Amino acid sequence: MSALEIRDLEVAYERRGRDPVRAVVDASLSLGRGEIVGLVGESGCGKSTLARAAVGLLRPTSGTIVFEGRELPPLDRGARPREAARLQMVFQNPYASLNPRRRVGHQIADALAILGLAGRDERPHRTRELLERVGLPAAAASRFPHEFSGGQRQRIAIARALAADPSVLVLDEPLSSLDASAQAQIANLLVDLSHNLGLGLLLISHDLGIVHQVADRVCVMYLGEIVEEGATDEVWARPLHPYTEALIHAIPHPDGRRFMPEALPGEVPDPARPPAGCRFHPRCPLAFDRCTDEHPTLERVVDARAAACWLASERAVTSPAGTAPRAAEG
């Protein structure tokens, strides 16, 4: 059974006097315990909206979130079931997500107290354990967030999430405000937590490189839709959706070989008025007549791989490695 399952999720932002923006359209994904699923896409693709809806911070327009076998109600004024606390979120910016005026230990102990996970006497001990679990000295408990670097703060934010004894963490761009050296440390910590605590991680990131390194499976989003899903290695080696391929070819290589990344022509369209047919067709180097009229849905192509592209099954057979999107001229 998967720990977290998102089924046919749609989130639309209502706007007065204008069409609603469908930020997430028909998205489904599942996440098992001990599994890391990367959700990648560029700004405005709806990945953060999906993350917030997944933990109940946003009310979906339709669709359901099933957590540990039960449907999860959106967060509102009423109390949430206690079990829902086992689904936790870590935010992008640890400078903003931690309270600057409270000692680190107290912030972590809050969850222990509120959820009744540790008695008053046990809390300091448990807090120290959590700090050590994320690679910080126990003495960090008595200090304030500003005394720590960005990477250390993100560790504190993760320790705070772990205090609720979660089975799933949803992490929204947890690495993107960090320097490269801290990024690597936190990425390694996430892998460690997932493997050794059996945590399911939904890792939302625009950085395909880091997702490739740590995620078992990857979902690629474009303009509100999941357009490709599969095991990370396979998606990386043989992207089925032309957008995934374009994303991979756009990543610079830091190896001194002067690789010039390829640009995708055009711009991400206004999500309030997505193109008809396939939402990617105006920018797709492989688009043909059908793509402009008919909307492809995410379909299983081979084994555990799915793509929302009319050419996916063809591309699965003939290696798409030779059909790289043509580079847009600067």
* Residues at the contact surface with other proteins, assessed by CB under 8 A: 42-43, 149-152, 179-188, 191, 206-210, 212-214, 232-233, 236, 246-248, 250-264, 267-268, 327-330
- Beta-carbon contacts of 66 under 8 Å, excluding residues fewer than 6 positions away, are 4, 5, 6, 7, 72
What is d(CA 67, CA 159) in angstroms, rounded to the nearest whole number?
Answer: 21
What is d(CA 16, CA 41) in angstroms, rounded to the nearest whole number?
Answer: 28
Q: How far is the CB of 226 from other proteins (least distance, A)?
A: 18
Contact of 308 with 227, CB cutoff 8 Å: yes
- Give, in order, the Cα–Cα distances in Å from 78 to each of 73, 75, 81: 10, 8, 10
Task: Decide whether 259 or 288 has the Cβ nearer to other proteins.
Answer: 259
Please count the CA atoms within 13 angstroms of the CA of 55 that sit on its side-chain side.
25
- Beta-carbon contacts of 78 under 8 Å, excluding residues fewer than 6 positions away, are none
Task: Decide whether 91 or 280 has the Cβ nearer to other proteins.
Answer: 280
Task: Decide whether 155 or 160 has the Cβ nearer to other proteins.
Answer: 155
Task: Decide whether 67 or 148 has the Cβ nearer to other proteins.
Answer: 148
Contact of 141 with 102, CB cutoff 8 Å: no
Identity of the amino acid at 150 = G
Q: How far is the CB of 191 from other proteins (least distance, A)?
A: 7
Q: Whose structure tokens read 């947890």?
A: 174
Task: Decide whether 2 or 205 has the Cβ nearer to other proteins.
Answer: 205
Q: How far is the CB of 129 from other proteins (least distance, A)?
A: 22
Q: How far is the CB of 263 from other proteins (least distance, A)?
A: 4
Q: How far is the CB of 27 from other proteins (least distance, A)?
A: 20
Q: How far is the CB of 7 from other proteins (least distance, A)?
A: 28
Identity of the amino acid at 206 = H
Task: Decide whether 108 or 208 has the Cβ nearer to other proteins.
Answer: 208
